[in-house]
Structure 1
Amino acid sequence: MNRIVRREEMAGGRMVLNEIEAPKIARTAQPGQFVMLRANELGERVPMTISDANPEIGTITIIFSVVGWSTALFKTLQVGDSYQNVVGPLGRPTEMEAVGTAICVGGGTGVAVLYPIARKLKSRGSRVISIIGARNEELIILRREMETVSDELLVCTDTGTIERNALVTDLLMEVLDRETPDVVVAIGPVPMMKRVSEITKPLGIKTIVSLNPIMIDGTGMCGSCRVEVDGQMRLACVEGPEFDGHKVNFDLLMERLQSFQEEEVQALEAHGVTELHSCRMEEVIRKKERELEKD
Structure 2
Amino acid sequence: MGYKIVDKKQLNDVVYLMDIEAPRVAKSAKPGQFIIVIIDQKGERIPLTIADYDVQRGTVTIVFQIVGDSSKKLSKLEIGDSIKDFVGPLGRPSDFVDEDIEAIKKKKIIFIAGGVGAAPVYPQVKWMHENGIDVDVIIGARSKDIVIFEDKMRAVAKNVYMCTDDGSYGFHGNVTMLLDDLVKNQGKQYDEAIVIGPMIMMKFACLATKKLNIPTIVSLNTIMVDGTGMCGACRVSVGDDIKFACVDGPEFDGWLVDFDEAMKRQTMFKTEEGRKSLRKSDGDTHSNPNCKIGGSH
2:201 is aligned, of 189, 192, 201, to 192
- TM-score, normalised to structure 2, is 0.84
Work out whether residues 213 and 226 of structure 1, in 8 Å CA contact, stay in contact via their aligned partners in 2.
Answer: no
Name the structure 2 match of 1:10: 11
Measured in 2, the distance between the counterparts of 1:119 and 1:127 equals 10
In structure 1, the residue corresponding to 2:268 is in which secondary structure?
A: coil
1:219 is aligned, of 216, 228, 250, to 228
The count of aligned residue pairs is 262
1:115 is aligned, of 118, 122, 125, to 122
Name the structure 2 match of 1:276: none
Amino acid at match of 2:141: A
Measured in 1, the distance between the counterparts of 2:212 and 2:147 equals 29
Work out whether residues 48 and 221 of structure 2, in 8 Å CA contact, stay in contact via their aligned partners in 1.
Answer: no
Measured in 2, the distance between the counterparts of 1:199 and 1:136 equals 22
Amino acid at match of 1:184: A
- The CA RMSD over aligned residues, in Å, is 1.6
Amino acid at match of 1:251: D
- TM-score, normalised to structure 1, is 0.85
1:207 is aligned, of 189, 199, 216, to 216
Q: Does 1:132 align with 2:139?
A: yes
Work out whether residues 233 and 269 of structure 2, in 8 Å CA contact, stay in contact via their aligned partners in 1.
Answer: no
CA-CA distance at 1:204 after TM superposition: 2.9
Q: Does 1:22 align with 2:22?
A: yes
In structure 1, the residue corresponding to 2:36 is in which secondary structure?
A: strand
Measured in 2, the distance between the counterparts of 1:214 and 1:199 equals 22
Cα pair distance change 1:262/1:221, threshold 3 Å: closer
Structure 1 residue ranges without an equivalent (≥5): 264-295
Measured in 1, the distance between the counterparts of 2:212 and 2:11 equals 36
Cα deviations by residue, 1:25-52 (Å, 9 ceiling, x for unpaired) = 0000000000000111122101000100
CA-CA distance at 1:166 after TM superposition: 1.1
Name the structure 1 match of 2:163: 156
2:182 is aligned, of 165, 175, 180, to 175
Cα deviations by residue, 1:150-187 (Å, 9 ceiling, x for unpaired) = 11111111222222221111111112222321110110
Structure 2 residue ranges without an equivalent (≥5): 273-297
Work out whether residues 169 and 195 of structure 1, in 8 Å CA contact, stay in contact via their aligned partners in 2.
Answer: yes
Q: How many percent identity over aligned positions?
A: 42
Moved over 4 A (4+): 260-263
Name the structure 2 match of 1:88: 88
Cα pair distance change 1:132/1:36, threshold 3 Å: same
Cα deviations by residue, 1:223-278 (Å, 9 ceiling, x for unpaired) = 33211101221011111000000000000111112135579xxxxxxxxxxxxxxx
Cα pair distance change 1:137/1:262, threshold 3 Å: farther
Amino acid at match of 1:229: V
CA-CA distance at 1:61 after TM superposition: 0.3
Measured in 2, the distance between the counterparts of 1:220 and 1:211 equals 13
Amino acid at match of 1:104: F
Name the structure 2 match of 1:50: 50
Name the structure 1 match of 2:289: none
Amino acid at match of 1:70: S
Amino acid at match of 1:6: D
